Amino acid sequence: MSETFVRFWGTRGSIPTPGHKTRRYGGNTSCVEVRMNDLLFVCDGGTGLRELGLELQERAPEGLEAHLLFSHMHWDHIQGFPFFVPAYAEKNKLNVYEVTPGETRVQRLLHHQMQSEYFPISFSDLGASIDAGHFTDGELALPGVRVRCLEQPHPGRSFAFSFEAGGRKIVYATDSELDLTLQNPEQAKRDPRALRVMPQQLVDFVSGADLLIADGQYTDAEYVQRVGWGHATASSVVDLAVQARVKQCAVFHHDPMHSDEVVDAKIQSCRERAQNHRSDLIVFGAREGVELKF
Ligand SMILES: [Zn+2]
Ligand SMILES: [Zn+2]
């Protein structure tokens, strides 16, 4: 069994934020590469996808096959796609996935964002073969890696993905308003330090992950001003990870208003929270360019 690699190509939420204030965590929007059992998965096609495409071109000059999983089709998760150079070469094969059988919604929406009103090159001019695959009963039929999906609370809905092979498990769960799903909302309101109890189905989905990559866009103070926007507090991500006995947790989808220093402070409070729960969970802020090996 080969090793599992995870690399962050874009960690920002909502809109790209280049500039000196976001240099360390990065300004590109959601894109995470997962290589498992010799399969290449790409979670979301935010602006980070552009640079991944350039690297893949060098890594596999003879052609490649990639599995692209879109959590949902909000701009910050698809805008890198028209700049993904492997999509332009005939030698490459891209599989994009739908949760609902028979649907080709992902393909259709990728197509739409490349209409001439928005972009100079059309989807039909892309050279790679781009096929729609489907989840059956929440699971993909792929050799050697178990890939599952779970619907999440987000305007227009979104999906989390879990990848398992050779005793390793990676979960990518962005754009999810965890704070709307708490099983003990009254207690959580009364005592912000109390463990926020998550739905059992979600805990089971994430359970035992070597790495959970999760939307933790807001501090608790910010969240009260942004209820219903579809994103979670970093505190709730920690509590999910603790309940699901996750080993490492990457807080992801950083708010565009957050400088590197603000993200540092958010991560520090996450670590203190994990300690208060008497957990040895490792928490860190997802950073563009960082690669982890399992
Ligand atoms: Zn997003
Ligand atoms: Zn979204």
pLDDT interval class at 140 (50, 70, 90): very high
Contact (CB, 8 A) for 33 and 66 = no
Closest listed ligand to the CA of 30: 1
Determine the distance from the C-alpha atom of residue 23 to the mean position of all C-alpha atoms in its chain, rounded to a whole number: 20
d(C-alpha 23, C-alpha 215), whole Å: 19
Cα 108 to ligand 1 centroid, rounded to whole Å: 19
pTM: 0.97
Closest listed ligand to the CA of 155: 2
The region of weakest confidence among 12-16, 22-26, 110-114 is 110-114
pLDDT (tens digit per residue) in 32-84: 999 999 999 999 999 999 999 999 999 999 999 999 999 999 999 999 999 99
d(C-alpha 204, C-alpha 245), whole Å: 10
Cα 148 to ligand 1 centroid, rounded to whole Å: 20
pLDDT at 102 exceeding the cut of 90:
no
Task: Characterise 254 by phi-psi region: left (phi > 0), alpha (psi -120 to 50), beta (else).
Answer: beta
The pLDDT of 122-126, averaged and rounded, is 94
Cα 42 to ligand 1 centroid, rounded to whole Å: 15
